[in-house]
Amino acid sequence: MSERVLLNLGPQHPSTHGVLRLVVELEGERVVNVTPVIGYLHRGFEKIAENRRYIQITPLTDKLDYVSSMANNMAYVKAVEELLGLEVPERAEYIRVIVLELQRIASHLLALGSIGNDLGMPFTLMMYTFRERETILDLFESLSGARLGYNYITIGGVMDDLPLGFTDFTLSFLRELRQKIEEYEDLVYDNEIFVKRTEGIGVLSPKDAINLGATGPVLRGSGVRRDIRKEDPYSIYHYFDWRIVTGKRGDCLSRISVWINEMKMSADIVEQAIENIPPGLFRAKVSRVVRPPEGEVYSRIESPRGELGFHIIGDGSTHPYRLKIRSPAFCNLSILPHLAKGVFIADLIAILGTLDPVFGEVDR
């Protein structure tokens, strides 16, 4: 038997997407075993939340999955609203859907760009995708004044109405985005080495994907047609005409194709939402001190990375008694040891890239 080498990938490594440490057991170039070591970014979010008022937790959620803060805000706010039994004005729901889907596009653009880096095409794909992501960040800046950590979706609605010209600018951006997505498709699908590097690598069968708790693009990449926006509909997603995007083979390339096609689908949803957005209030009347009744609620949304759930236990006071976050990146990352058995070290990086973990959310 050949000798085995223990290699420490990370926590400081160019392609671990943050502070992940992988203890990799190598046999030559082959990976025998991977043990992810996480927790380097653990901030005790759930403990902090127990000592904060409900309103004060929203800005904290921005820092969970810092590349899709809107989705985190939404997941938390939705849980609190369910606990309160609060009705949200329709305009607010429309604005929420618009920003959530734009956020999904931004997040997938980042994931797509960084997979280029992981596979060894330094910065070409990334600079292209960042060009578009930048526009979305500009849009969000006009909404909330921040480019990262928006704190925009708030209990009862959204913080502020859409600024003047937002819808027109968004529509023209989406038109542009569709053309750019074709460019990315050229760069990904027509690139023979890219396809060779990702096709058939890290195959996750539909059965395993469900059993291992995969959600989001990872699950849909395996061909399982499941999306919480359709299954357990929240907000106003059932108003729009769209379908769930799936991959075929469950390998890295399928997951990448899910990102690309989901971006198109999100663009569709945003266009429909902008077309039909009604006038009205953008925020329901909510008292300054949110004091939900005693009770428990577990509510989930489909964040760009998958199923993002918040379980809140209220004891009738202004602080939550217990707040638990079911983070999609955490669950998707736990699949890595199963996928990375017997692959090459280069494939390990590719698989990690397509699982797309964000460590603010994995470690919480």
Partner 1 sequence: MMSEEKKSENKIEKAEKRKEEKKDEIEEERLTIEDIAPAFPLIYRIAESGVESIYIQKCNKIWVEVKRENLLEFCSFLKENGFDHFSCILGVDRGEYFEVIYHIWSYIDRRMLSVRVKVPKDDPEVDSVVSIWRAADWHERETYDMFGIIFRGHPDLRRILLPDDFEGFPLRKDFKLEERSWL
Partner 2 sequence: MFPLNLEFYLSLLENPLFRGLAGALGVITVISLAVLILIWAERKFVARLQHRYGPNRAGKYGILQTLADGLKLFLKEDILPEKAEKYAYTLAPILCFSLAMLPFVAVPVERNIVVANLNAGILFILAVASLSIIPVIMAGWSPNNKYNLIGGIRSAALMISYEIPAGLAVIGVLVLSGSLNMIDIVEAQRDGWFILPQFLGFIIFITVSFMESARPPFDLPEAESEIVQGWTTEYSSVKFALLMLGEYTHAVFTSVLIAILYFGGWMGPLFDSPFWLALKTLVIMLFLMWVRASVVRIRIDQMVSFGWKFLIPLSLLNILIAGAIKVF
Q: Which residues bind partner 2 (CB under 8 A)?
A: 5, 7-8, 13-15, 29, 116-124, 127-128, 131, 187, 191, 193-194, 196-197, 344-347, 349
Could you tell me the smallest distance in angstroms from the CB atom of residue 105 to partner 2?
18
Nearest to 152, CA basis, from 62, 271, 91: 62
**Strands 295-303, 157-158: pairing kind:** unpaired
* 323: DSSP letter: E
Alpha helix (H) residue ranges in the chain: 45-50, 54-62, 69-84, 90-119, 124-144, 166-189, 192-198, 206-211, 217-221, 228-231, 252-276, 328-333, 336-339, 345-355, 359-363
Could you tell me the smallest distance in angstroms from the CB atom of residue 282 to partner 2?
36
Considering only 132, 307, 347, 356, the residue that binds partner 1 (CB under 8 A) is 307
Rounded Cα distance between 11 and 14, Å, is 9
Q: How many CB atoms lie within 10 A of CB 272?
A: 18
Query: Closer CB to partner 1, residue 123 or residue 298?
Result: 298
- Return the one option of partner 1, partner 2, none that residue 62 interacts with (CB less than 5 to 8 A, by type): none
- The two three-digit tokens of residue 357, written as one number: 């973990």
- The two three-digit tokens of residue 163, written as one number: 């600024």
Could you tell me the smallest distance in angstroms from the CB atom of residue 28 to partner 2?
9
Q: Quick check: 180 binds partner 1 (CB under 8 A)?
A: no
What part of residues 208-227 is at the interface with partner 1 (CB under 8 A)? 210-213, 215, 224, 226
Could you tell me the smallest distance in angstroms from the CB atom of residue 85 to partner 2?
49
Task: Map residue 293 onto helix, strand or coil.
Answer: coil
- How far separated are the first and last CA of the chain, in Å rounded? 41
Query: Closer CB to partner 2, residue 188 or residue 274?
Result: 188
Q: Taking contact as CB under 8 A, which single stretch among the options 139-147, 157-165, 242-250, 321-329 is the one that binds partner 1?
A: 321-329
Q: Taking contact as CB under 8 A, which single stretch among the options 117-125, 260-268, 325-333, 350-358 is the one that binds partner 1?
A: 325-333
Q: Quick check: 316 binds partner 1 (CB under 8 A)?
A: yes
Q: Quick check: 23 binds partner 1 (CB under 8 A)?
A: no
Helix, strand, coil share of the chain (percent; to 5): 50, 15, 35
Could you tell me the smallest distance in angstroms from the CB atom of residue 354 to partner 1?
18
Query: Closer CB to partner 1, residue 253 or residue 323?
Result: 323
Q: Yes or no: say if 300 and 228 are a contact pair by the CB < 8 Å rule.
A: yes
What part of residues 224-243 is at the interface with partner 1 (CB under 8 A)? 224, 226, 231-232
Could you tell me the smallest distance in angstroms from the CB atom of residue 204 to partner 1?
12
